Homo-oligomer: A and B are copies of this chain.
Amino acid sequence: MDVLFLFRIKEHQEEMLRSEFPEIRFLFDRKTDDPAIGSSEVIVTYGTDIDESVLDRAKNLKWIMVASAGVEHMPLGRTAELDIRVTNVRGIHKTPMAETMLAHILAYRKKLQDVYAQQSRSEWNKKIRGTELLGSKALILGPGAIGGETGRLLQAFGVRTYGCNRSGRQAEYMDEMVSFDGLLEALPEMDTIISVLPSTQETKRLLGREHFAAMKDTALFLNFGRGDLYEEQVLIEALEKGRPSAAVLDVFETEPLPADSPFWKMKNVTVSPHISALSGKYVERSLEIFIPNLRAYLDGRTGEMINRVDPERGY
């Protein structure tokens, strides 16, 4: 049985897989035009290089393991028709992403950029006044694994957390829940608004002019989900009007962010080049999801495989 990786992993990880699964032929660091696509039963990919033409050639394919949380570039309609199961690695991003979001939130509230700027001028000035997280309110759009971990950390700082999902059903580490329908009403209360929503038909353009207009003029907005949550021009105008007060953006409609995007030069915007999920431990954690799933697959216990992607919901 062939298992083909469309990316590179470390040598000791290759050896570990070969010794754990001696019955499998692993093919590492291949491209989608590799002839072995035709014989592979399992393909492991970051999820941006699989299109229908790859599926047409993958005659033996039964399972695609996507080493990413977002699967919006995957032809999920076609994999469903062909009965190819798709799993992802949702959950493994939660630590680096939640830590990174907390870093940005705290850096903003404690005005660290002002501290750095003063130092660059050798200026001792005690006028910088941070504000506190304790007692503030945060709304988290998408309170799943990543949003929940972010909520858990915010709660440790004494922040009241409001999870926001389609139905408003309870989610972990959220003090209160809000449905998508109740979002507009909840926004005026919030000090921090975070989105970690995936890109789906329901989340595209979920935020419009009226949502930003409803935010406090002291609110910090973070988008660590996907860039099509709003039209970027709408957010740019909102930030120019001062609601929200500032934004930290790790995702954009077009990535890399074009050189002429106004975001680069805006004083109240932090541009992060879609790095918040990256960590030295990324592949290691992906394999921790993959290995038990591969074992279950080989043993015919496919019902026990975790992180199945629902092709209808798109996550």
Contact = CB atoms under 8 A, between A and B. Distances in A.
Most buried by B among A99, A270, A280: A99
A257 interface: yes
Given A129-B280, A275-B130, A281-B132, A110 B100 contact: yes
A297 interface: no
Contacts of A102: 102, 106
Contacts of A115: 270-273, 275
A152 interface: yes
A272 to B, nearest CB: 5
Interface in A196-212: none
Given A99-B109, A126-B274, A119 B157 contact: no
Contacts of A233: none
B107 A107 contact: yes
B99 A103 contact: no
Contacts of A119: 264, 270-271
A122 B264 contact: yes
A125 B255 CA distance: 11
Contacts of A110: 99-100, 103-104
Interface string A123-143: 011101111111000000000
Nearest to A258: B124
B109 A103 contact: yes
Nearest to A124: B256
Interface residues of A, number: 49
Contacts of A274: 126
A302 interface: no
A24 interface: no
B112 A112 contact: yes
B281 A96 contact: no
Contact of A106 (B106, B113, B125): B106
B157 A99 contact: yes
B278 A129 contact: yes
A130 B281 contact: no
Contact of A99 (B104, B106, B116, B279): B106
Contact of A103 (B95, B112, B128, B152): B112
A133 B278 contact: no
Contacts of A255: 124
Contacts of A271: 115, 118-119
A234 interface: no
Given A99-B133, A103-B109, A126-B274, 11 more contacts: A100-B110, A100-B130, A102-B106, A103-B110, A107-B107, A122-B264, A124-B273, A128-B275, A128-B278, A129-B275, A130-B279
9 contacts: A95-B132, A95-B134, A100-B110, A100-B130, A115-B275, A118-B271, A118-B273, A122-B259, A128-B273
List the 9 closest A-B pairs by CB distance, nearest first: A103-B106, A156-B156, A124-B256, A103-B110, A122-B264, A119-B271, A124-B273, A107-B107, A95-B134
